[in-house]
Structure 1
Amino acid sequence: MKEAIDAQRRMSEAGFAAEYERLEDKLGSGMSSIVEIPFLYRPGAETRDIEQLEQLRGNPRGLSTVDGPSRLEAQVQAEKSGEILAISEVPTDLSHLSGSTTDFETVDTRASMFTTENADSGESKTTSYYFPEDPDMPSWKPFSMRWHYISLLTVLALGLAGLQEFLCQSSIKKTKKGGGLLRFQKPGDLSVTKYFTWKYAPTLTFVIYGILWQISDFEVKRLEPFYQLSQKSGATAAESLNMDYLTFMSWLVPLRALRHKQYAVIYSSLATLVASSLVPVLQSASVTMYSPKEKGEVDDYKYIRIDPRWSRAVTSSLVFVAICGVVLLFQLRRKSGLMSDPKGIAGVAAMATRSHILGDFHGLDAAPLNKIHKQLRHRRYILHKSSLWQGEYIRKNNERIPEYGTDPRPLMLRLRAGIPYIAFMILFAIAVPIFIFVDYAHSVTQKVPFLLTAIATIVKLLWGTMNHDVRMLEPFFILSNRDAPPQTLTLDYTGTNPIWLPFKAILNKHYIVAGVGVGSVLTEILTVCVSSFSVDGQEFLPGTKGTNDKEELHDRYNTDETFRSFWVSFSLVIGILFLLVAIASIVYLRRSHKFIPRQIGTIASVLAFIHQSKMLVAFVDTEKMDSSAMTRHLEQQHPPKKYALGWFSGRDGEDHLGIDEEPILDRYVYGEDWTKTRVLPSQIGTWEHY
């Protein structure tokens, strides 16, 4: 039996070799770049053949419709010929695998760009596509993902860790001698420079460093699906087209990335969370003021010292961030496959005009994410020559489909999350004066000096998630209101620098986006200000003096605040919190309603909106344009175009829900199927449709 199987395998491989010789002749005659051949199905293919191919091609998930040896030969021949090879599943009699019965059919890709009839056929749905290696694969990446920027972040982490340890060692030495890093009788004795350097500069430095990591982390999360698609064998939809990190809760992103083994996202997210959230909290707890007089010693001076336990925690965290940076440098050496920044809806549309990929989105106009995921899970996808293509067909995929739910709003833009979040900020604003001015509550902040900083960090993290959601939804919100200008299709705030974001949004007259951008900056200032609150606020109430007769040990001169610095910090904290509440209230008032059929944020969600759009004609041969060139190209369309999200008549003559050029049939209303309420001309005048 074994000899018969081996002989059958040799006959099959010889047959393929003969057919590939004929294939080379056809390709040499200048025919189409996609050659379609029947799939020779061999149900007896052994597991070791498949394992050999898995190792060769990066261990793709799921089994292709083509067995191991056939897949291996198909990939080798695609790379040998330099052309795209299509193998369709056609049952073949194994006893006649001589190579002379296989018929080759060329496919004109230009003629099939906007045709979904062939793509919707059963044969095309089970066709696997194999791509030659691109010797000139592009590798565009933003500056914040290049080695210069990541190396700078890594060096800064090590430098800050070294500085923290140096200050800790200096403090330990001076403490043994009864001193500290600074010595003063009252804070007002210090110069403004020394006071600021001690009180605010450390936290401010780490907050700014965290923002630098956030800029890089934004881009890593946004572009990871394209990196996955640019692998030699592409990626499954779950790992690429359906992947969304930007609207996901930031502290859960590493777990999702770990599940899909996307290590660049893991290390980038961990470094950002530690650098922007954990380090400022630990640092605020590491700086303490020691008052000998409060300990019963005869010494009127106060000393600033570094707590070794908290300081070593800061240093360890920074070393961890540096390690993540080094690993990220190696992870980002892979090529992205991108010619330029794939900004906005136009960036995705430009990549989808050369293959049958849009045919996979048939019937998904208003489908929720889990239905899209289910329909795409039997296919691998690839980014080849700056265009999105179908890859191998996966015969069997037992991947668990996540429950996304049918609510089209990201979690942080729903009232069930928004109302508790606003209430949390109001309670925090009420708690701050309680912790400062009430005796028993004040003792809590003395025992847990980082408490207020930790609460402010939670406010910042949740605001950041809401900020991402608003940024991503803005183009779709504009389109849902109809008559959107062409630049809406290239509008993309997700990768915008958080400092530049408010200015860019104001210039575009997108005031909600500008508001949440300003709020993000304010949350960083909030973190810095609350880090200084470890004093008894009663000593700073108007009317009290520098020394009082009741208890000299508890006057304001025995604290680490000046009268001015205390009230400036206190006013900023309360003012920022109520300003954040006001901005958040406006956001939930204007953006918490349902104006799209499903959640967005993935490449697949955009493709499902445009798969039958007539506007795709404008994106032919634009996959290599950058955002500016694309905007100019769309604005120069004649006659001038406007765009909308709603119901339109597609290229197939049927009514669809998605994004298309005006005039569309009707705007979209959540929960209503416009096609079921439309009265056709043939129905007018009959009694039953009156």
Structure 2
Amino acid sequence: MLPLTQLTPLGDGSAADAIQQERNLNEAGFAAEYERLEGQLGAGMSAVHEVPFTFQAQGEQKALHKRGVSNVEAAEAAARQDGQKEAEKVGGIVAVADMPLDISETFHADFDTRSILTTNQPDHDGSKTSYYFPEDPDMPAWRPFSMGWPWLSMLVVIALALAGLQEFLCQLSIRRAKDDPLNGGLIKFKKPGDLSVTEYFTWKYAPVFVFVIYGILWQISDYEVKRLEPFYQLSKNSGASAAESVNMDYLTFLAWLVPIRAVRHKQYAVVYVSLATLVASSLVPVLQSASVKMYPPQKERKVDEWKSIRIDPPWSRAVTACLVIVAICGGILMYEMRRKSGLLSDPKGIAGVAAMATRSHILTDFHGLDTAPLDRIHKQLRHRRYILHKSSLWQGEYIRNSTERVREHGSDPRPLMLRLRAGVPYVCYIVLFTISIPIFMFVSGAVKITEKLPFLLTALATIVKLLWSTVNCDIRMLEPFYILANRRAPAKTLTLDYTATNPMLLPFRALQNRHYLVALVGVGSILTEVLTVCVSSFSVDGKKFIPGHGGEDDEEEDDAFDRYNTDETFRSFWISFAIVLSILFTLVAIACLVYLRRSHKFMPRQIGTIASVLAFIHQSKMLVQFVDTEKMDSSAMEKHLEKEGKTYGLGWFSGRDGDDHCGIDEEPLLAGYSYGVDWTKTRVLGNQIGTWEHY
């Protein structure tokens, strides 16, 4: 009989060993799962069919050659056509190796019998391989509601209705003035105070207010079209060049220059939505404020005689024409929106882009671009077309001889309107505009300017609004990157995207997220709209509204410039004056806070493009979390990331290749990012300790 082994209770050391053993097992499990997911990065490439390059000059290619097209260009066209046919034939992605160069041009050989010579060394890494994709019969076509036909139809109908109403009021004013040349008009009164509040508001503020609201409705569509146009370009059957897609940024570009850039790239949806938005939100309110006139002229008015409100036909017809142009742009935009986006859901934030980049080898194109400026990124990507296929981003055709011009963007990582060289003049402009309001109101010589140019202040306020909208867009776009730069950002930061948020709802959503600066700038955008409405009424002599200098206190009985002979009441003038000055002071305060908190350089380069985001994450370990997530919507993506319980940051990290990189990754990072500092050159590695360089 074997002796029983005496059992002893586990001591503290044994318990600690058990805990450590369990921890090691968990870490081993996590490591195994990480390796499994990492192995799936680029897994979609396993389904690619590789075919050799072949080219025979027949038929169409001979015709191209006769028309002066070079052999290389003809070969490229043939390879493109054959590759596309092969992709359609096999029903999958086809890879064609680097196209060889025809030397018949050099040696004047016959076009049919050519020698083939490769231009460079064999394409071992596939960097010059072209990829062709079959047409996707089930291509998704998600788009936000503000880009759908119901919303756009509503905008077109409203534009036509407003144009019709404007012309109707103009005709009515003309007819009544003809019937009663002295007192005829839309409405008549002896003193503005004789009108009810409803009548006064309907005449004085309602028209501009309606047009301002209509402009905001267009802005909602404008933001979305500009944001999603790169994806529409990528979803084309042959994809798009980098300049037209992954390197395209409309949101941080100055609004009035966007149509020019869009025309250059033949992206007409952006052209039409930008024109419609600029005309509806900026030009129409200015023209409308100039179209409403008070009769008789100022010098002929008397306190106890009738005055009337008339519509000035030339200005009114300009308003009507602009609204018709807006309607036409809206109609063409509806036609352009027949395209399919290739998106299953809203690609919000950094996570939306990262989820699309895990199935292909697209990230290899961003090697060495961690801290590169935009022009260097464009230079490296201009030899490649890119495509959105099956909800993932892929490399497309290799472009041998790219003719795209690389424009210098400079190394400044801040958008133009967040730099002090633009911010200081802008703040000074608002301050000068604030000072000019009392001058135009109370200085006799300046009052005559607003009497002759009643739309002047509205135009100046519109400039404030346009530039503020650019600042607003920059702050919206930068917010997630600013949070990441401060390190240990929650998972929802990766799905944070304010660019698609309704301008009226932006302050509330930002407050909910405790992003107070974004909320303040959003409030500022709303205030600029109110500013446009209020200043439209300033075309009077403000001195007459000072107690004791006008109205019943006026010593001159027939003063043509008395407050009773103007289109303002005592109350409306001072309320509007106080609101305008309060808004301008508030805008100056918010702008100063913006430049105090966001004018510093906290990123390696400007953001706003898909390529800029991909360059930040191309070696991130966090990419394994996005494997098989390309079909998730933003809500599901946020839950998926929060389940991991990780935090994220912008800085230096050890990449999947074992080297140090600068970008966005999960914490802990090796170091935070400081502009202009290459952290890899400032640290001392273990094998460098004791060497003379670091003595």
**TM-score band, normalised by shorter chain:** 0.7 to 0.9
Query: Which of 141, 161, 164 lines up with 1:162 in the alignment?
Result: 164
> Equivalent residue of 1:67, what SS?
helix
1:187 Cα deviation after fit: 0.7
1:35 alignment counterpart:
49
Q: Tell me, yes or no, if structure 1 residue 218 matches structure 2 residue 223.
A: yes
| Aligned-pair CA distance for 1:81 | 1.6
Partner of 1:195: 200
Secondary structure of residue in 1 paired with 2:664:
strand
What is the alpha-carbon root mean square deviation over aligned residues? 2.2
- What secondary structure is seen at the aligned counterpart in 2 of 1:657? strand
Tell me how far apart the structure 1 counterparts of residues 545 and 690 of structure 2 sit (CA, whole Å).
82
Query: Percentage identity across aligned positions?
Result: 70
Note the 1:309-348 alignment, pairs <5 A. 309-348=314-353
1:394 to 399, 402, 416: 399
User: Which moved further from structure 2: 378-387 or 32-41?
Assistant: 32-41
Q: What is aligned with 2:147?
A: 145
Structure 1 portions without partners, runs of 5+:
1-29, 53-61, 95-119
Residues 49 and 379 of structure 1, relative CA distance in 2, 3 Å threshold: farther
Residue 92 and residue 170 in structure 1: after superposition, are their counterparts in 2 closer, same or farther (change >3 A)?
A: closer
Q: Provide closer, same or farther for how the CA distance between residues 564 and 68 of structure 1 changes in structure 2, counting only shifts above 3 A.
A: same
* 1:88 paired residue number: 97
Q: Secondary structure at the match of 1:125?
A: coil
Query: What number of residue pairs does the alignment pair up?
Result: 625
Separation (CA, whole Å) in 2 of partners of 1:447 and 1:530: 15
Q: Distance in 2 between matches of 1:348 and 1:31?
A: 19
Q: How far is the alpha carbon of 1:357 from its aligned partner?
A: 0.3
Give the 5 Å matches for 1:178-257.
Answer: 178=181, 179-257=184-262
Deviations 1:512-547 (A, max 9, x none): 100100000000000000000111101101233414
Alignment of 1:487-506 (within 5 A): 487-506=492-511
Q: How does 1:64-83 map to 2 (within 5 A)?
A: 67-83=76-92
Following superposition of structure 1 onto structure 2, how do residues 374-453 of structure 1 map, counting pairs within 5 Å?
374-453=379-458
- Written as runs of structure 1 = structure 2, the 5 A alignment for 1:41-52 is 48=61
**Larger Rg, first or second structure (1 or 2):** 2
**SS across alignment from 1:391:** strand
Three-state SS of the structure 2 residue aligned to 1:659 is strand
Q: CA deviation at 1:553?
A: 2.5
The CA deviation string for residues 552-594 of structure 1, in whole angstroms up to 9 with x for no partner, is: 3222111111111000000000000010000000000000000
User: In the alignment, which residue of structure 2 is the partner of 1:461?
Assistant: 466
Structure 2 contact 208–288 (Cα < 8 Å) conserved:
yes
Q: CA deviation at 1:122?
A: 4.8
Match of 1:260 in 2: 265
Shift in Å at residue 33 of structure 1? 2.1
1:86 counterpart SS class: strand
Deviation of the 1:64 alpha carbon = 7.8
- Cα pair distance change 1:293/1:371, threshold 3 Å: closer
Q: 1:92 to 1:285 in 2, by over 3 A?
A: closer
Q: Which residue identity does 2:602 align to in structure 1?
A: F
Q: Find the partner of 1:124 among 107, 123, 126.
A: 126
Q: Secondary structure at the match of 1:396?
A: coil
Shift in CA distance, 182/302, structure 1 to aligned 2, threshold 3 Å? same
Give the SS at the match of 2:551.
coil
Secondary structure at the counterpart of residue 341 of structure 2: coil
> Is the 1:63–1:394 Cα contact (8 Å) retained in structure 2?
no
Q: Which residue of 2 aligns with 1:107?
A: none
Q: Distance in 2 between matches of 1:530 and 1:605?
A: 41
2-structure distance, mates of 1:329, 1:50 = 38
Q: Is it true that 1:616 corresponds to 2:623 in the alignment?
A: yes
Partner of 1:630: 637
Deviations 1:325-363 (A, max 9, x none): 110010010000000000000000000000010000000
Shift of 1:175: 0.7
What one-letter code is carried by the residue in structure 2 that aligns with 1:141? R
**Alpha-carbon distance in structure 1 between the residues aligned to 2:98 and 2:631:** 33
- Tell me how far 1:121 sits from its aligned partner: 6.5
Q: Is the 8 A contact 2:302 2:560 kept in 1?
A: no
- Letter paired with 2:151: Y
* 1:36 partner amino acid: E
Task: Rate the CA distance shift 1:621–1:50 in 2: closer, same or farther, 3 A.
Answer: farther
For 1:585 and 1:559, how far apart are their aligned partners in 2?
A: 37
Q: Distance in 2 between matches of 1:329 and 1:433?
A: 45
Work out whether 1:301 is the aligned partner of 2:301: no
CA contact (8 A) 1:649 1:656 kept: yes
Q: Are 1:480 and 2:485 counterparts? A: yes
Distance in 2 (CA, whole Å) between partners of 1:31 and 1:546 is 82
* Residue of structure 2 aligned with 1:578, choices 560, 585, 593: 585
- Structure 2 distance, partners of 1:414, 1:127, is 41
* Distance change (3 Å), C-alpha of 1:541 and 1:495: same
How big is the shift at 1:549?
Answer: 1.9
Q: What is the alpha-carbon distance in structure 1 between the residues aligned to residue 640 and residue 428 of structure 2?
A: 47
Q: What SS class does the counterpart of residue 282 from structure 2 fall into?
A: helix
Match of 1:270 in 2: 275
- Three-state SS of the structure 2 residue aligned to 1:382 is strand
Residues 584-663 of structure 1 aligned to structure 2 (within 5 Å)? 584-637=591-644, 640-663=645-668
Instruction: Pick closer, same or farther for the CA change 1:91–1:172 going to 2, 3 Å.
Output: closer
- The CA deviation string for residues 154-173 of structure 1, in whole angstroms up to 9 with x for no partner, is 00000000000000000000
Q: Secondary structure at the match of 1:388?
A: strand
SS at match of 1:468: helix
The 3-state SS of whatever aligns with 1:656 is: strand
Q: Which 10-residue stretch deviates more, 386-395 or 299-308?
A: 299-308
Asked whether the 8 Å contact 1:282–1:450 carries over to 2, the reply is yes
* CA shift in 2, pair 1:532/1:365, >3 Å: same
Contact 1:89 1:123 (C-alpha < 8 Å) held by counterparts: no
Distance (Å, rounded) in 2 between the aligned partners of 1:381 and 1:333:
21
Aligned to 2:21: none
Consecutive unaligned residues of structure 2, counting only runs of 5 or more, are: 1-43, 66-70, 104-121
Give the aligned partner of residue 24 of structure 2.
Answer: none
Distance of 2:63 and 2:680 partners within structure 1: 46
Contact 1:349 1:607 in 2 (8 A): yes
CA–CA distance in structure 1, aligned partners of residues 604 and 349 of structure 2: 18
Q: What is the rounded CA distance, in whole Å, between the counterparts of 1:596 and 1:298 in structure 2? A: 63
How has the CA–CA distance of structure 1 residues 392 and 63 changed in structure 2, closer, same or farther, with 3 Å as cutoff? farther
Letter in structure 1 aligned against 2:534: C
Change (3 A) 1:31 1:660: closer
**Which segment is superposed worse, 298-307 or 388-397?**
298-307
| Matched-pair contact (CA < 8 Å) for 1:50–1:69 | no
**Separation in structure 2 between the aligned mates of residue 230 and residue 71 of structure 1, nearest angstrom:** 17
Alignment partners' CA distance in 1, 2:211 and 2:532: 10
Which residue in the other structure is 1:563 paired with? Answer: 570
* TM-score, scaled to structure 2: 0.87
Q: Please identify, of 356-365 and 543-552, the stretch whose mean Cα deviation from structure 2 is larger.
A: 543-552
Residues 393 and 553 (structure 1), Cα distance of their counterparts in 2 relative to 1, 3 Å cut: same
Determine the C-alpha separation between the residues in 1 that align with 2:628 and 2:512. 30
2:611 alignment partner, SS class: helix
Matches of 1:138 and 1:279, distance apart in 2: 37
TM superposition shift of 1:219: 0.3
SS in 2 for 1:392: strand
Answer whether contact 1:337 1:384 (CA < 8 A) is retained: yes
Aligned mates of 1:181, 1:76 — CA distance in 2? 67
Contact 2:287 2:455 in 1 (8 A): yes
